[in-house]
Amino acid sequence: MEVRFCLSKLKHGFKKILFFCILFLQGLGCSKDNIPVKKNTPEPTHPITHAKIISYYNFEPDTVFKYPPNEGVLQNQLDINHDSIADINIYREVSYMWYPPNNNWWFSKKRIEALNGNFLIVASTHNCIEYSLVSPCSSALDSLDNIGIESKKIKIYYIMYSEYMDSPCNCSFSEKKYLGIVLHKSNNDYYGWIGLNSDITLFDCAINSIPDDSIKAGEK
């Protein structure tokens, strides 16, 4: 009888201890099965911003795309973002023409062409007139110019620099400037830049890997 009474008290005491343990665990945010309870937290009221992921490439040594040694055309296609698809074409041409009074006049041009649905971005564009010939001439971007959807720059398919004998086109520049580029991939636009001069010496380039996100000329 006494043993049965002791067991009953012990069982009653154990239930009390178990009850208080459950209350303690619930106060810690846990259920009686020790599974964390998800608390309702308000959604952030500000948009989540993504850090830029910029793929940068430095041409070492600086890459100079020269004219053909004789009359003719040279072309080189470049893959800017290394996805095995050509993004731009570097076109160079030399032509000799008979032009009085010396009959030894020559014409040459270098052109950067956007391929496969891509675009180039420049600050402005106009016609360059030399010896009564008209060539489209585009002004390059300066360092830290914004390149993106909201920028007020001009999208074109190609940019050309021409020379006529001893008179360079007036849009030429020897110092490093920038050409914006828009790579159109899988219905998304990726903005980037190419550092170059009008002799089409390439120094470096970069692409923002976040679609539709802007980048500044020279940013890396």
Summarised one tens digit per residue, pLDDT across range 33-81 is: 444 444 555 555 544 455 789 999 999 899 999 889 889 999 999 999 9
Buried b (16+ CB within 10 A) or exposed e, 57-68: bebeeeeebebe
The pLDDT of residue 183 is above 90: yes
Give the pLDDT of residue 91: 95
Rounded Cα–Cα distance for residues 220 and 217 (Å): 9
Per-residue confidence at 6, pLDDT binned at 50, 70, 90?
A: very low
Q: What is the average pLDDT value for the chain, to the nearest integer?
A: 78
The pTM score is: 0.71
Q: Which amino acid is at 114?
A: A
d(CA 118, CA 86): 10
Q: Is the pLDDT of residue 99 over 70?
A: no
The stretch 161-187 carries a mean pLDDT of 78
Q: What does the alpha-carbon distance between residue 203 and residue 63 come to, in Å, rounded to a whole number?
A: 7
